[in-house]
Amino acid sequence: MTEAATTPPSTTPENPWPVRVVSQKIASWIARLGWIWVDGQIAQISRRPGASTVFLTLRDPSADLSLTVTTNRDVLDSGAPNLADGARVVVHAKPDFFPARGTLSLRADEIRQVGIGELLARIEHLKKLLRAEGLFDRARKRPLPFLPRRIGLITGRASAAERDVRDNARRRWPAIDFRIVNVAVQGPGAVPQILDALAVLDADDSVDVIVLARGGGSVEDLLPFSDEALCRAVFACRTPVVSAIGHETDVPLVDYVADLRASTPTDAAKRIVPDLAEEVRLIGGARQQLRRRVTQLLDREQQRLDAIRSRPVLARPEAMVDQRETEVRALRERGTRCLSHRLDRAGGELEHTLARLRALSPAATLQRGYAIVQRPDGAVVRSPDEVGAGDRLRVRLAGGELTATVEG
Amino acid sequence: MSTPELSYEQARAELATVVEKLEAGGSTLEESLALWERGERLATVCQQWLDGARARLDAARTESE
């Protein structure tokens, strides 16, 4: 086979292969694949009345790929009588080249519809596998931004999920911006569309968080959200992914892989944007607290400063001078008092002396009628012997002086 | 005496020291006067800081309202 792929066939413009040769060669290559079991999803089924052959379109659940299956009506009726679009089947078939049209189909001789029980068992198995690979690890979860610049929303067109996420997010934060990608959220085609949407939103730098939202549905409806390719794509996203699938009780595998699992689309809105009113209230509270604290601090410092300034040494600085002035005044008074005391005493002494002086004076004696006789030279005559006849004498009386002459 | 460069805490601490010295007494008149003048200057510095802080607070408040 490798040889055939690498060796160019020996054809030239002059020696080309006829269509039948090419057709025959392709048919023989394809026939080599033999009988195989194929897992797929029914995208379309056409039973033509009267015709014994039934055509089915079998597609890959995770990718936009499909093959045509042809089978006998009996095979279908015995293996999967109630087959409808979207059903999962396992087909035993042989790839078959139809030379008349150059088309390829799988010719099936057995078709088994995969029941919901088996699908769930497969999901359980896949869950173990992904967990073992670390796709659910808490440490691998990326934190959500506090306030995303833009929210990427993947959801069904005009769905309740879209409305719930968008309206609730806007109610909390009116200026929030969305980039919404509408996809099929169930049935064949859902997974490939969601994968495309994830790729687009993850590549958009302005998208800070991606929300995968879908309302409630049957177990079959939610199957795409347990798809392996989808889980791996979500895990590979650089942008944080929030899953909001179905109701509280629905837990598709993507919920384990997502960075955050919201129980419902409304819950997702609450988790991805903060509540503006609440934030404003918190900031307001913090600001008030801040002001109160600073004002308290200033008031306390003012009190301390006032206390220091009211201390007498600062409040009454003149006391510093007053005190000294008092001392000076006291000293001066002491001085004055001391001096005047001394003057008083001196005055007293003077009077006393004067009195004594006056007591010693002869004036009082003279007053009583005594006289003092003096010679002209002033000497007091105390005895008649001291004078001779004819001597002139001065006689001093209380009322004045007179002169006398000694007669004998 | 680079008074304007003192922080509020430095000014207040020095003011407290000055007051203690004045209260303890024992200084000459000239020294006491110098201490008192220093104390007054320090108290003014403290008050300027507090007034300035209040003004800034009021300005911020007006701005945010």
- Is the Cβ–Cβ distance between A245 and A213 less than 8 Å? yes
Which tens digits make up the pLDDT trace of B7-61? 888 988 898 898 888 888 888 888 888 888 888 888 888 888 888 888 888 887 7
What whole-number distance in Å separates Cα of residue A176 and Cα of residue A209? 12
A320 touching B, CB under 8 A?
yes
Q: What is the pLDDT of residue A6?
A: 52
**DSSP SS3 for A227:** coil
Helix count (H) and strand count (E) of chain A?
13, 13
Can you name the residues that pair with A39 across neighbouring β-strands? A90
Tell me which residue in B19, B36, B54 faces A320 most closely, judged by beta carbons: B36
Q: So what's the pLDDT on residue A252?
A: 92
By DSSP bridging, strand A392-396 and strand A401-405 are: antiparallel
User: How far apart, in whole angstroms, are the C-alpha atoms of residue A165 and residue A399?
Assistant: 148
Which residues are paired to A41 by β-bridges? A59, A88
pLDDT tens readout for residues A253-299: 999 999 999 988 999 999 999 988 888 999 999 989 988 998 999 99
| Contact: A305, B47; criterion CB under 8 Å | yes
- CA of B4 to nearest chain A CA: how many angstroms apart? 17
Residues whose CB is less than 8 angstroms from the CB of residue A67 and which lie 6 or more positions away in sequence, other chains included: A38, A40, A57, A58, A59, A104, A105, A106
Q: How many CB atoms lie within 10 A of CB A107?
A: 19
Chains A, B: CB contacts within 8 A come to: 50
pTM: 0.59
CA distance A279 to chain B (A): 16
Number of neighbouring beta carbons within 10 Å of residue B1: 8
Q: Would you state the pLDDT for residue A382? A: 87
* Mutation choice for B interface testing from A287, A295, A320, A325 by most B CBs within 10 A: A320
Coil, strand or helix at A54: strand
For strand A66-72 and strand A150-155, is the pairing parallel, antiparallel, or unpaired? unpaired
What is the least distance, in Å, from the CA of A310 to any CA of chain B? Answer: 11
For A82, A274, A279, A321, B20, the CA distances from B30, given in Å and listed in that order, are 117, 68, 62, 11, 17
Q: Residue B23's pLDDT is what?
A: 84
Which residues of B fall within a CB distance of 8 Å from A318? none
- E strands along A66-198, which residues? 66-72, 88-98, 103-113, 150-155, 177-182
Grouped pLDDT means (10 residues each) for chain A, 408 residues = 55 89 90 91 84 88 88 83 83 91 90 86 92 93 92 93 93 92 89 95 95 89 91 95 88 93 91 89 91 91 91 83 83 82 85 81 81 86 86 88 86
- Specify the pLDDT at position B1: 46
Disruptive mutation site among B46, B48, B63, B64 for chain A (greatest number of A CBs within 10 Å):
B46
Which candidate from A301, A302, A308 shows the least CB-CB separation from B19?
A308
What integer pLDDT is reported at residue A272 of this predicted model?
92
- Please tell me the predicted confidence (pLDDT) of residue A1: 44
Q: How many CB atoms lie within 10 A of CB A26?
A: 14
Pairwise CA distance, residues B62 & B39, whole Å: 34
- Summarize pLDDT for A206-258 with one digit per residue, the tens: 999 999 999 888 888 888 999 999 999 999 999 999 999 988 787 899 999 99
Q: What pLDDT is recorded for position A2?
A: 46
Mark yes or no for CB contact A287/B64 under 8 Å.
Answer: yes
- Chain A positions touching B12 (Cβ under 8 A) are 301, 304-305, 308
Contact between chains at A314 and B46 (C-beta distance less than 8 A) = no
The interface pTM score, or ipTM, of the predicted complex is 0.73
Provide the mean pLDDT of chain A. Answer: 88
What's the token pair of residue B13? 């601490």
The whole-number pLDDT of residue A365 equals: 80
Closest CA–CA distance from residue B64 to any residue of chain A (Å): 10
Under 8 Å between Cβ of A373 and A393: yes
DSSP secondary structure of A337-374: HHHHHHHHHHHHHHHHHHHHHHHH-THHHHHTT--EEE
Give me the pLDDT at residue B4, please. 55
A308 touches chain B (CB under 8 A): yes
User: Which of these, A69, A64, A104, A65, lies nearest to A89 by C-alpha position?
Assistant: A69
Inter-chain residue contact A298 with B50, CB threshold 8 Å:
yes
The pLDDT assigned to A7 comes to 58
